[in-house]
Amino acid sequence: MTRAVIAGSDAENLGDALTAEGVDVVRARGTANRTALEEAGILEADVLVVTEAGLATSIPVAKDLNPDVRVVVYTHESLPEFAKGQAGHILDPGLLDPGFVAEEVAGAA
């Protein structure tokens, strides 16, 4: 089973769409700092989903903890330059609906 950690408020409900695709979803609390990511299970996760560009700092932290984690950024906001190189996919909810993204994430595992 694919495991995903979501960092952010998930206003587009990608977490629900992932769950509907059979993905085990856990939400990192607060600012998705190192402790929150560890508590959410980033060490065992297949995917980190970032739904707020303001939480971009969670990307290098997650990659440090789990170098194999795939990173999907799903937000209307622009991602800071420092995080773009570690984000596998940067997707705009205005262009791709959550159901489509969830299918792709679940199918890539």
Ordered mean pLDDT values, 10 residues apiece, the chain (109 residues): 96 97 97 98 98 96 97 96 93 97 87
pLDDT at residue 92, as a whole number: 96
The DSSP secondary-structure symbol of 53 reads G
Q: What is the pLDDT of residue 17?
A: 98
Q: 């932290």: which residue's tokens?
A: 61
**pTM score of the predicted model:** 0.95
The whole-number pLDDT of residue 109 equals 58
- Burial bucket for residue 86 (CB in 10 Å: 0-12, 13-18, 19+): middle
DSSP H stretches of helix in 14-80: 14-20, 34-40, 58-65
Instruction: Give the pLDDT confidence score for residue 31 in this predicted structure.
Output: 95
- The predicted pLDDT at position 49 comes to 98
Q: For residues 40 and 5, give the distance between their C-alpha atoms in angstroms, rounded to a whole number.
A: 7
